[in-house]
Amino acid sequence: MLPDEPYITAQLLNWRRRLCDWRELDALAAQVRAALAQGCLLYTSPSPRD
């Protein structure tokens, strides 16, 4: 979608999952995983123990 904007891509992925909109979900997830692997995004856990 937006290869230069990994944060927006991650937000779009999140909202599509919440709304059960499965279009292009695999492609978005792959872009987000790649951005995480490259260090472009940080993952924060919703768990209070992490």
For the chain, report the end-to-end CA distance as a whole number of angstroms: 31
Q: What is the pTM of this model?
A: 0.75
Residue span of the structural domain in which 38 resides: 1-50
* DSSP secondary structure string for all residues of 8-26: HHHHHHHHHHHTT--TTHH
State both tokens at 25.
């979900």
Q: Read off the CATH number of the domain in which 49 is found.
A: 1.25.40.10
The number of folded domains in the chain is: 1
State both tokens at 6.
């990994």
2's torsion region: left (phi>0), alpha (psi -120 to 50) or beta? beta
Tens of pLDDT, residue by residue over 1-41, are 566 889 999 999 999 999 999 999 999 999 999 998 998 88
